[in-house]
């Protein structure tokens, strides 16, 4: 089918007023089909997050925030006391916040919405509260758009010459704007820089092959997809000027959780003396955690490994090991690019100097 241009697609979009609904671009169907999931209740949003119909730390945070509007709208129709309605909303908030454990943006967005609910008192006007929460959710989405633009500007300023290797998807599909790592690439391209992007396929769900390659072709930026296992050979050729990836959670010392395979890529970049950059908004930092050892790592269904996209690729008695993320130690990261500035020589002190200002 003819797919619409990227700028015609809203990854996460609220339709209507506070009694409206959430519409999510179903990323599991890309790149061959453009379909949307209509979410009118919290369980549908939770399912969309868990099944990766919407994915990327900033994007699921935005989806979670809009999910809270649905939670309040559902509570309005309960024939219960205000106290029980608030308890219902808080339970839906926890359902959303725990739907994916590694990405910190989701809980951050939910907690931001919950603060509005707490400030409304014990007997709020729930209709007015739903309007206020919708405004706040839209604000979170607009803020992320601006954060992406700043990350793109900072990142483009330090991007070295040469082609670029990236992993997973960190573009408009994963955020509220042009993206984080992919936003840096897009910004540099729009500034007139010319290069070729190599995208790891990103096993087992192929976010690099299906999503990053699709976004880049939409923007007419040349892209080549490679098997994850081919990255070492590619880096050895000398073609690659840098690697750049996104993040789902960054701790106080700069250790970074990102899609599984990122840690291996960072080790390879170090071995070949190639800069390895992480691009992420300040909302992805979790300063309550000191090191990456404290980050919870999501374990996904083993059938994503054993039966990729429904194809039985292993013997029936084989088992699968399917962590969704790994942690890259700070000492393997050349710099972390944020909307507040660039963190070089990544340590607990340099992180605090930029993120806590």
Domains of the chain (ranges, CATH numbers) = 6-146 (1.20.120.420), 149-355 (3.40.50.10470)
Cα distances (Å, whole numbers) of residue 93 to 13, 67, 98, 285? 19, 8, 9, 21
Low-confidence ranges of the chain (pLDDT < 50): 1-4
Q: Calculate the average pLDDT of the chain.
A: 95
Instruction: Note whether 227 and 188 are within 8 A (CB).
Output: no
Query: pLDDT tens digits, residue range 166-220?
Result: 999 999 999 999 999 999 999 999 999 999 999 999 999 999 999 999 999 999 9
Please say if 293 is a catalytic residue. Answer: no
Q: What is the model's pLDDT at position 8?
A: 55
Please give the Cα distance from 63 to 40 (Å, whole number).
Answer: 12
Measured CA to CA in angstroms, residue 179 lies from 95, 295, 325, 333 at distances of 26, 23, 19, 19
Annotated catalytic residue within 228, 248, 255, 326: 248
CA distances from 61 to 93, 96, 107, 134, 247 (A): 12, 9, 7, 14, 13
What φ, ψ does residue 25 adopt, rounded to 5°? -70, 125
Secondary structure of residue 225 in the 3-state scheme? strand
Specify the DSSP element, H or E, that contains 27: none
Residue pLDDT, tens place only, 120-175: 888 899 999 999 999 999 999 999 999 999 999 999 999 999 999 999 999 999 99
pLDDT computed for residue 261 by the predictor: 98
Pull the structure tokens for residue 13. 């979009």
């Amino acid at each position: 089918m003819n797919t619409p241009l990227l700028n015609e697609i809203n990854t996460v979009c609220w339709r209507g007023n506070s009694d409206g609904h959430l519409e999510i671009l179903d990323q599991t169907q890309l790149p061959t089909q453009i379909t949307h999931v209509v979410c009118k209740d919290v369980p549908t949003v939770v399912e969309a997050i868990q099944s990766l119909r919407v994915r990327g730390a900033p994007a699921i945070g935005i989806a979670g925030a809009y999910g809270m509007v649905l939670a309040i709208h559902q509570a309005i129709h309960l024939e219960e006391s205000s106290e029980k309605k608030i308890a219902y909303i808080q339970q839906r908030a926890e359902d959303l916040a725990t739907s994916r454990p590694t990405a910190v943006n989701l809980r951050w967005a939910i907690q931001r919405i919950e603060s509005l609910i707490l400030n409304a008192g014990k007997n709020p006007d729930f209709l007015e509260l739903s309007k206020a929460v919708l405004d706040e959710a839209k604000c979170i989405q607009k803020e992320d758009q601006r954060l992406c633009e700043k990350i793109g500007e900072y990142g483009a300023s330090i991007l070295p010459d040469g082609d670029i290797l990236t992993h997973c998807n960190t573009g408009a599909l994963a955020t509220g704007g042009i993206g984080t790592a992919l936003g840096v690439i897009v910004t540099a391209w729009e500034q007139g820089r010319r290069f070729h992007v190599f995208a790891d396929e990103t096993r087992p769900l192929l976010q690099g092959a299906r999503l990053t390659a699709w976004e880049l072709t939409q923007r007419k930026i040349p892209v080549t997809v490679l098997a994850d296992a081919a990255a070492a050979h590619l880096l050895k050729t000398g073609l690659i000027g840098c690697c750049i990836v996104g993040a789902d959670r960054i701790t106080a010392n700069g250790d970074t959780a990102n899609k599984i395979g990122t840690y291996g890529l960072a080790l390879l970049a170090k071995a070949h003396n190639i800069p390895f950059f992480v691009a992420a908004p300040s909302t992805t930092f979790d300063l309550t955690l000191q090191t990456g050892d404290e980050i919870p790592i999501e374990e996904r269904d083993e059938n994503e490994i054993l039966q990729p996209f429904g194809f039985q690729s292993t013997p029936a008695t084989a088992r699968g090991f399917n962590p969704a993320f790994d942690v890259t130690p700070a000492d393997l990261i050349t710099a972390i690019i944020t909307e507040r500035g660039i963190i070089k020589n990544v340590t607990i002190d340099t992180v605090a100097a930029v993120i806590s200002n």
